[in-house]
């Protein structure tokens, strides 16, 4: 086998041998080319000799090998030596390749043998672990059996004591509760023993003679436990009858005492009712939503002139009210950047900013009949999520002035550029459901019922009905008159305040905050104020 100057891996030896083989092949190719050149020169020399013989009549003597060119003879000798050396190297290369294959085969055999040895060792470890597990299981089962025997003996003693106590004629009625507790405790202990029996049976995966004997003993113990359980159930029924009589007497006494409330309780309930009615109007968030297309120019002008007077009237009626106002104006799709106009909530001290904002609005736009009410509703929902300049008070209302319906052929019978509904996929009914869930009163001030009645009938179904509802959808006919703005606004605000007073007085569990912004309620009530 071929060994290099330094110790190398079989893969490196193989690569080195392949490189040497390629070099030998290259040298053989060079030598073959030299042979062809030498043969060509020999033919050329022979051809020249033949031509000379034709021109010279005298016969040309044939030269012996000793008369050939010394350089050519030396080249031929070297070529034969190189060919012999190449053949010898090729033979050596084949022998080295055979040795390399034998080494690979031997390495594979050694790996297979090591793998089989590891499998045998792993199998032996698993068998040892299984044997230890069986031994531990048997020891644990024997210990649990001893514990069950001791528990059964203790339970028998307790049952005998309880039977003796139940048979005593001087047993007081109040003793039934401790006795029933003892009986319940015994029942739980018996159930625990039965559960332990069941787990012990399941843990023994392979039956043996010891397991079979233990199972027979467990069966006898189970029969004894069932007998004890039947006796304890009979005693429990007797004590339960005594407990029922005692509970009935105590309940009757409590009902008699509850019919005579104290003076302090009556006073506290009255003060609580007064506080609820006062706090119902503590905070008011009023959102004015208005169609700002050309036909509603009168409403915009009235809003600018009368909004301050409306709020002053509300402040006089509810001196402690914390009033905040916002404005949403809307037009229609295609009205450039003025499709939605928003002024967020401000306190009553900053009402002049709303007046100035409304005064800059120009009533125009609106190509077809319906307008972008869906976009305005989406903006109102966004205000519910704004914790700073959005809805915060417990009394919330939207006052909506409009003379045209929203887009969607189901809401009207007029020409509509978007008969399938809002082009952005907004759903007015879904948004109204969400406003209702956040307790926002909705007042639609109907300028003309001819075009909006179908829509308002659908919108009403999105709000809860009934006198006990916390909010509602209301339609107030106004007509297209500038003088109708202030009465309609006042009526809407008064209705919301009255509804809030009625609602809070009926739900005495609610605890509104003193500021109208926060609440210390819990559960569903907290969700109402925090929403």
Helix, strand, coil percent values for the chain (each to nearest 5): 65, 10, 25
Nearest Cα to Cα of residue 439 among 366, 528, 364: 528
The whole-number pLDDT of residue 408 equals 95
Alpha-carbon torsion 366, 367, 371, 375, what sign?
A: negative
Which of these ranges, 38-52, 200-214, 268-282, has the smallest mean pLDDT? 200-214
Alpha-carbon torsion 469, 471, 477, 482, what sign?
A: positive
User: How high is the mean pLDDT of the chain?
Assistant: 76
CA atoms of 400 and 374, how far apart (whole Å): 13
Q: Can you count the helices (H) and strands (E) in the chain?
A: 12, 6
Using a pLDDT cut of 70, give the percent of the chain over it. Answer: 66
Mean of the pLDDT values across residues 474-480? Answer: 81
The whole-number pLDDT of residue 388 equals 82
Asked if pLDDT for residue 490 goes beyond 70, the answer is: yes
Asked if pLDDT for residue 381 goes beyond 90, the answer is: yes
CA atoms of 492 and 398, how far apart (whole Å): 9
Asked if pLDDT for residue 397 goes beyond 80, the answer is: yes
The whole-number pLDDT of residue 405 equals 94
As beta bridge partners, residue 476 has 445
* Residue 389's pLDDT band (cuts 50, 70, 90): confident
Residue 450's H or E segment, with its range, is helix 449-460
pLDDT, one tens digit per residue, over 400-429 is: 988 899 999 999 999 999 999 999 999 999
Domain spanning 278-530: which superfamily? von Willebrand factor, type A domain (3.40.50.410)
Flag whether the pTM goes above 0.85.
Answer: no
CB of 440 within 8 A of CB of 471?
yes
The whole-number pLDDT of residue 265 equals 63
Mean of the pLDDT values across residues 203-225? Answer: 55
What token pair was written down for 414? Answer: 């007029």
Instruction: Check residues 134 and 272 and name the one with the higher pLDDT.
Output: 134
Asked if pLDDT for residue 175 goes beyond 60, the answer is: no
**For the ranges 197-201, 266-270, 384-388, 456-460, the one whose mean pLDDT is highest:** 456-460
Strands (E), 38-196: none
Instruction: Check residues 443 and 209 and name the one with the higher pLDDT.
Output: 443
Bridging pattern class, strands 473-477 and 340-347: unpaired
As beta bridge partners, residue 402 has 446
First to last CA, the chain: 89
CB of 327 within 8 A of CB of 342?
yes
What token pair was written down for 121? Answer: 């060792």
The whole-number pLDDT of residue 513 equals 37
The whole-number pLDDT of residue 517 equals 38
How many of the other CB atoms lie within 10 Å of CB of 325?
Answer: 24
Mean of the pLDDT values across residues 159-184? Answer: 55
Q: Which residues are within 8 A (CB) of 329 and not within 5 positions of it... i.e. 6 or more apart?
A: 289, 290, 291, 292, 300, 340, 341, 342, 358, 361, 376
Residue 524's H or E segment, with its range, is helix 523-530
CB of 480 within 8 A of CB of 451?
no
């Amino acid at each position: 086998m071929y060994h290099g100057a330094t110790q190398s891996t079989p893969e490196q030896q193989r690569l080195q041998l392949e490189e040497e083989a390629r070099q030998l092949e290259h040298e053989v190719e060079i030598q073959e080319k030299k042979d062809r050149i030498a043969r060509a020169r020999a033919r050329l020399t022979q051809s020249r000799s033949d031509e000379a013989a034709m021109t010279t009549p005298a016969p040309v003597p044939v030269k012996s090998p000793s008369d050939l060119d010394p350089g050519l003879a030396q080249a031929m000798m070297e070529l034969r030596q190189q060919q012999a050396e190449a053949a010898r190297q090729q033979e050596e290369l084949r022998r080295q390749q055979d040795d390399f294959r034998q080494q690979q085969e031997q390495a594979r055999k050694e790996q297979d043998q090591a793998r089989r040895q590891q499998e045998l060792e792993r199998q032996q470890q698993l068998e040892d672990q299984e044997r230890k597990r069986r031994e531990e299981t048997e020891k644990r089962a024997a210990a649990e059996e001893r514990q069950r025997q001791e528990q059964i003996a203790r339970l028998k003693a307790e049952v005998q004591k309880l039977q003796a106590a139940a048979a005593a004629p001087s047993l007081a009625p109040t003793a039934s509760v401790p006795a029933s507790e003892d009986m319940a405790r015994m029942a739980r202990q018996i159930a625990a023993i039965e559960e332990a029996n069941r787990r012990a049976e399941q843990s023994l995966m392979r039956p043996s003679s010891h397991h079979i004997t233990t199972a027979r003993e467990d069966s006898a113990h189970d029969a004894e436990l069932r007998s004890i359980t039947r006796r304890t159930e009979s005693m429990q029924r007797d004590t339960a009858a005594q407990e029922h009589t005692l509970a009935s007497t105590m309940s009757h006494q409590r009902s008699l005492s509850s019919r005579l409330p104290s003076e302090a309780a009556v006073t506290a309930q009255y003060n609580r009712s007064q506080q609820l009615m006062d706090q119902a109007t503590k905070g008011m968030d009023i959102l004015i939503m208005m169609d700002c297309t050309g036909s509603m120019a009168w409403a915009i002008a009235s809003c600018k002139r009368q909004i301050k007077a409306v709020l002053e009237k509300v402040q006089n009626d509810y001196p402690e009210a914390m009033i905040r106002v916002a404005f949403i104006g809307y037009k229609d799709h295609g009205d450039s950047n003025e499709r939605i106009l928003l002024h967020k909530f401000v306190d009553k001290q900053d009402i002049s900013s709303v007046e100035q904002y409304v005064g800059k609005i120009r009533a125009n736009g609106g190509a077809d009949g319906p307008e972008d009410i869906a976009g305005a509703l989406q903006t109102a929902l966004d205000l519910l999520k704004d914790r700073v300049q959005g809805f915060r008070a417990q009394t919330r209302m939207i006052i909506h002035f409009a003379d045209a319906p929203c887009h969607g052929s189901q809401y009207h019978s007029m020409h509509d550029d978007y008969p399938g509904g809002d082009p952005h996929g907004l759903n007015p009914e879904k948004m109204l459901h969400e406003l209702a869930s956040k307790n926002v009163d909705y007042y639609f001030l109907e300028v003309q019922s001819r075009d909006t009645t179908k829509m308002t009938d659908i919108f009403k179904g999105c709000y809860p009905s009934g006198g006990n509802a916390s909010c509602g959808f209301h339609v107030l006919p106004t007509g297209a008159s500038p003088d109708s703005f202030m009465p309609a606004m006042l009526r809407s605000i008064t209705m919301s305040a009255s509804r809030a007073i009625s609602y809070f007085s009926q739900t005495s569990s609610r605890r509104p905050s003193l500021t109208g912004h926060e609440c210390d309620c819990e559960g569903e009530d907290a969700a109402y104020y925090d929403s």
